[in-house]
């Protein structure tokens, strides 16, 4: 088999360089990475990364295979490759590029997650420690101060408990995200039960929540408990961030030939009349711990995980989440599910 045949048969991006350090062959995957390599010219015209250049030179000098990590960019995003250089025979070096971007992105996500969780737990823990030190010293003999600080400690402890509960819930959902629910459930009943359960909370906040949907059953395949979690989260968000004494509208409609699902579906809209959300935030709302206003979110008891949980549950149901908002006119969160 010719060198061209060998290079083109390799499933990775690959190039061949002779002992004169001329690039003599490149497969299609390598062309996509390197552009249009200048064949029969010194490889430095096509590869300028110093570590790869050094690895190629070392292979010809020592006959020992070399591996380096190449970090570059594509469309303003970081891209990582494991670049392996080894001799095919005495006079030709094979350079292959294995894309490890997904692995590096996963590592970064884990690092960010640990950092965010640590920060979210450290804040209430620091507060509780401070309250305890105060109770042991200056507030030791002040009953009113003790009562006030104990109430604050209770609030911070509840905040940590909500965070841990959301983390456990998110972990459970992620572990089952590839398993589609198979139960046949009545979505109308799920929405009515959700509103009934949230009734006292909505009443205390002065929110008038109305349901606009069919009286008949709307049957879909789904997990009733998880979907109640989705709608509870969206309605509570409409209450918390839309503001007190504001109307909230929940609607349920059936959709024929939903393009996003490539099938018939149903759409549940949760609409508030609050201050709205700037478009610059919309794409990131479902990221873990992403908050538009961290201080306000913590004040109303948010953990920064609610919409991430919503997104994962909807993904498990093979659905879509659409968010529309206009400053000063409120927001609509649309859950689109297949029938």
Q: Is 308 helix (H, G, I), strand (E, B) or coil?
A: helix
Q: How many CA within 13 A on the CB side of residue 221?
A: 11
Average pLDDT, the chain: 87
Task: Tokens for 94, please give them.
Answer: 């094979």
Task: Tokens for 117, please give them.
Answer: 């969780």
pLDDT, mean of residues 125-134: 88
| pLDDT for the residue 52 | 94
Quote the Cα angle for 285-260-308, to 5°.
25
- Of the pLDDT bands very low, low, confident and very high (cuts 50, 70, 90), residue 122 is confident
| pLDDT for the residue 251 | 94
- Of the pLDDT bands very low, low, confident and very high (cuts 50, 70, 90), residue 269 is very high
| pLDDT for the residue 196 | 92
> Does residue 178 carry a pLDDT above 80?
yes
Nearest Cα to 246, choosing from 276, 267, 269, 291?
Answer: 276
CA distance 199 to 196: 5
Quote the Cα angle for 230-232-236, to 5°.
120
| pLDDT for the residue 177 | 82
CA distance 294 to 84: 45
Higher pLDDT: 255 or 208? It is 208
Question: What are phi and psi for residue 319, nearest 5 degrees?
Answer: -110, -170
- Of the pLDDT bands very low, low, confident and very high (cuts 50, 70, 90), residue 64 is very high
| pLDDT for the residue 65 | 94
| pLDDT for the residue 301 | 55
Q: Is 302 helix (H, G, I), strand (E, B) or coil?
A: coil
> Does residue 118 carry a pLDDT above 70?
yes
Q: How many CB atoms lie within 10 A of CB 242?
A: 23
| pLDDT for the residue 314 | 94
Among 52-66, 137-151, 205-219, the range of highest mean pLDDT: 52-66
Using CA of residue 19, residue 25, residue 29, residue 32, what is the dihedral sign?
A: positive
CA distance 99 to 101: 6
Of 55-59, 143-147, 289-293, the range with the lowest mean pLDDT is 289-293
End-to-end CA distance of the chain: 54
pLDDT tens-place string over residues 149-172? 888 888 888 888 888 888 888 888
Of 12-21, 89-98, 158-167, the range with the lowest mean pLDDT is 158-167
- Of the pLDDT bands very low, low, confident and very high (cuts 50, 70, 90), residue 235 is very high
> Does residue 300 carry a pLDDT above 60?
no
């Amino acid at each position: 088999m010719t060198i061209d045949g060998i290079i083109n048969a390799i499933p990775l991006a690959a190039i061949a360089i002779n002992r004169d350090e001329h690039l003599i062959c490149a497969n299609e995957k390598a062309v996509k990475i390197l552009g249009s390599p200048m064949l029969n010219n010194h490889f430095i015209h096509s590869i300028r990364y110093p570590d790869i250049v050094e690895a190629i030179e070392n292979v010809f000098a020592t006959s020992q295979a070399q591996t380096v990590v190449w970090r570059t960019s594509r469309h303003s995003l970081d891209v990582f490759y494991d670049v392996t250089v080894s001799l095919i025979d005495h006079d030709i070096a094979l350079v292959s590029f294995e894309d490890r971007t997904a692995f590096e992105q996963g590592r970064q996500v884990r690092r960010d997650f640990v950092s965010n969780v640590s920060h979210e737990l450290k804040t209430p823990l620091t507060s509780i420690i401070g309250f305890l030190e105060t109770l042991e010293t200056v507030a030791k003999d002040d009953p009113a101060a003790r009562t006030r600080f104990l109430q604050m400690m209770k609030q911070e402890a509840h905040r940590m408990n909500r965070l841990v509960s959301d983390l456990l819930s998110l972990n459970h959902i992620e572990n089952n995200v590839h398993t589609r629910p198979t139960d046949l459930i009545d979505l109308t009943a799920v929405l009515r039960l959700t509103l009934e359960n949230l009734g006292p909370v909505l009443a205390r906040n002065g929110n008038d929540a109305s349901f606009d949907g069919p009286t008949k059953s709307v049957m879909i395949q789904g997990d009733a408990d998880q979907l109640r979690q989705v709608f509870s989260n969206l309605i509570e968000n409409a209450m918390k961030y839309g503001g007190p004494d504001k109307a909230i509208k929940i609607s349920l409609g059936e959709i024929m030939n939903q393009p996003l699902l490539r099938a018939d579906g149903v759409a549940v809209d949760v609409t508030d009349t609050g201050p709205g959300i700037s478009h610059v935030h919309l794409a990131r709302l479902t990221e873990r711990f992403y908050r538009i206003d961290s201080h306000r979110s913590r004040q109303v008891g948010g953990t920064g995980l609610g919409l991430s949980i919503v997104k994962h549950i909807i993904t498990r149901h093979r659905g879509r989440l659409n968010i529309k908002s206009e400053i000063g006119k409120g927001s609509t969160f649309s859950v689109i599910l297949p029938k």
